[in-house]
């Protein structure tokens, strides 16, 4: 792993230190926004953007290659598809277990928690999926656009 303290031209020590201090709090806040999404302001998309912004801060302050050491392209691809698969999978699972599509109360047959509780919890599951996808897509968009498409050579 490249030494983070190695000096590359054009990068400022203050920015690097500030970003290194800020990123954990940004990620914590992003997780907080996702988790509180289903009954107060917040939700999957908003929390996902904040989480993605944390990685983009790293890429802005250091280098795209450095931020790729924290999230490799392979992990990015997995998060992309995992998030969308969670959303569609929860819906399909509810349909398989006898309810309608995205009718979370049917998942009661899988883990008994009471149908009303499941309708609330199902939204949370789906928002987590959305958060994963949005986070990885924001980071992927930034990598691709800032480097003119050269990022996909990493695989």
Query: Which stretches of the chain bind other proteins, using CB under 8 A?
Result: 39-41, 43, 45-46, 77-78, 80-81, 84-85, 88-89, 91-92, 95-96, 98-105, 134, 141, 144-145, 148-149, 155
Closest to 44 (Cα-Cα) out of 5, 87, 90: 87
Q: Two tokens at 116?
A: 């009303």
By beta-carbon proximity to other proteins, the closer residue of 42 and 67 is: 42
By beta-carbon proximity to other proteins, the closer residue of 66 and 144 is: 144
Burial of 60 (0-12, 13-18, 19+ CB in 10 A): middle
**Min CB(94)–other proteins separation in Å:** 8
**Min CB(85)–other proteins separation in Å:** 5
Closest to 30 (Cα-Cα) out of 102, 135, 104: 135
By beta-carbon proximity to other proteins, the closer residue of 4 and 110 is: 110
- The 8-class DSSP code of residue 9 comes to T
By beta-carbon proximity to other proteins, the closer residue of 19 and 84 is: 84
By beta-carbon proximity to other proteins, the closer residue of 66 and 115 is: 115
**Min CB(13)–other proteins separation in Å:** 31
**Min CB(83)–other proteins separation in Å:** 9
Instruction: Report whether 129 contacts 87 (CB < 8 A).
Output: yes
Residue 36: how many other CB atoms lie within 10 Å: 16
**Min CB(24)–other proteins separation in Å:** 25
At 83 the three-state DSSP class reads: helix
């Amino acid at each position: 792993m490249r030494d983070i303290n190695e000096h590359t031209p054009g990068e400022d020590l203050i920015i690097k230190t500030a970003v290194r201090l800020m990123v954990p709090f940004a990620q914590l806040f992003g997780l907080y926004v996702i988790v509180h999404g289903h009954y107060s302001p917040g939700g999957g998309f908003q929390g996902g953007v904040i989480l993605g912004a944390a990685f983009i801060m790293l890429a802005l302050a250091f280098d795209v290659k450095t931020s790729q050491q924290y999230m490799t392209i392979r992990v990015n691809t997995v998060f992309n598809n995992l998030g969308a698969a969670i959303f569609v999978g929860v819906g399909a699972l509810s349909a398989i277990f006898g309810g309608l599509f995205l009718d979370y109360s049917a998942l009661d047959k899988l883990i008994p928690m009471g149908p009303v509780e499941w309708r609330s919890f199902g939204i949370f599951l789906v928002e987590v999926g959305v958060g994963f996808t949005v986070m990885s897509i924001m980071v992927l968009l930034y990598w691709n656009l800032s480097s003119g498409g050269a990022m996909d050579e990493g695989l």
